[in-house]
Structure 1
Amino acid sequence: MYLPLPNPRFGQTRGSGSWEGRGMEPGSSPLTTHVLDTASGLPAQGLCLWLSRLEDHGQQWTELRKSYTNPDGRCPGLLLPGQMKAGTYKLTFDTEGYWKQRGQDSFYPYVEVVFTITDETHKFHVPLLLSPWSYTTYRGS
């Protein structure tokens, strides 16, 4: 059984808003992600990830949620409706844990995607294309 490595994020606190394991309808969250394993051509199921927001005038990351990708490689409910506010966010993906569960070494132990939200009325989708030796991300729709 694989146990995740200690959280690699510097200066992180765990927020009281963590709600791991609660299911949400795909269309109900203003922020979603989708991880595809480009080495196998399949969704990256069971990949652990954390969502954090930069607080304290840019000095401290606060963890909002820990979650795992579903069988389709999606994590549809990262934030509850109304929970999004303008600011800087970070998605941290435990890529090393994902590849170790598959018996594969990888170059990147984790991937951090940092992005800024200026209009909290919009929906945001942050896909990740992943292989053991590379990754790509972009703002999706």
Structure 2
Amino acid sequence: MGKLSTHVLDTTAGKPGAGVKVALYEIQPAGRVLLKEDVTNADGRCAAPLLEGGTMRAGRYELVFGAGDYFAAQGAALPSPRFIDEVTIAFGIADPAQNYHVPLVVSPWAYSTYRGS
């Protein structure tokens, strides 16, 4: 079986984003359902996969990262309201037997992602 993982890279400081709150939602016909919440470790990663085994199912998901709170805690000079605050990445899992790695590369002014393995 596959697994879902993530990590955060802070491009402003050139280091892993440690202490970023991460929430995983499954998108169902009735709306979003919270599956898991975690905080990134010193390497910018969640300690365990967000989904694996029987919890890894095909479907639509969202990862929500507390980037604005992270940058505020780092002492970054942020406008009010913040330009980048919560970053939501909507994605799909087509084949639960594969690994899906969804990283966030972020600064207070921009972010990007890609599908890793």
In the superposition, the TM-score normalised over structure 1's length comes to 0.75
Report the counterpart of residue 61 of structure 2 in structure 1. Answer: 89
Residue type of the alignment partner of 1:95? A
Aligned AA for 1:121?
A: A
> Could you say what secondary structure the match of 2:54 adopts?
coil
CA deviations on 1:24-72 (whole Å, 9 max, x unpaired) are xxxx9700001100111100000001000011x2x31000000011100
Deviation at 1:80, TM superposition (A): 3.7
Q: With CA pairs under 8 Å and 6+ residues apart, which has the higher RCO, 1 or 2?
A: 2
| Alpha-carbon RMSD | 1.5
Query: What is the aligned partner in structure 1 of residue 6 from structure 2?
Result: 33
State whether residues 16 and 43 of structure 2, in contact with CA within 8 Å, keep that contact through their aligned partners in structure 1.
yes
Establish whether residue 78 from structure 1 lines up as the match of residue 54 from structure 2: no
CA distance in 1, matches of 2:74, 2:65: 16
Q: Post-superposition, which runs of at least 4 consecutive aligned residues in structure 1 deviate over 4 A?
A: none
Alignment of 1:2-81 (within 5 A): 30-55=3-28, 57=29, 59-75=30-46, 76-81=48-53
Distance in 1 separating the partners of 2:13 and 2:94: 35
1:76-96 CA-to-partner distances (Å, cap 9, x unmatched) read: 421242211110000000111
Contact 1:50 1:93 (8 Å CA) reproduced: yes
CA distance in 2, matches of 1:79, 1:109: 25
Distance 2:57 2:44 in 1: 25
* Cα separation, 2, equivalents of 1:29 and 1:92: 21
1:86-126 per-residue CA deviation (whole Å, 9 max, x = no partner) reads: 10000000111101101211511110000011111111000
Percent identity, aligned pairs only?
42
Gaps of 5+ in 2: none
Provide structure 1 residue ranges, at least 5 long, that are not aligned to the other structure.
Answer: 1-27
1:109 paired residue number: 85
Aligned pairs, how many?
112
Conserved 8 A contact 2:2-2:56: no
Q: What TM-score do the two structures reach when normalised by structure 2?
A: 0.89
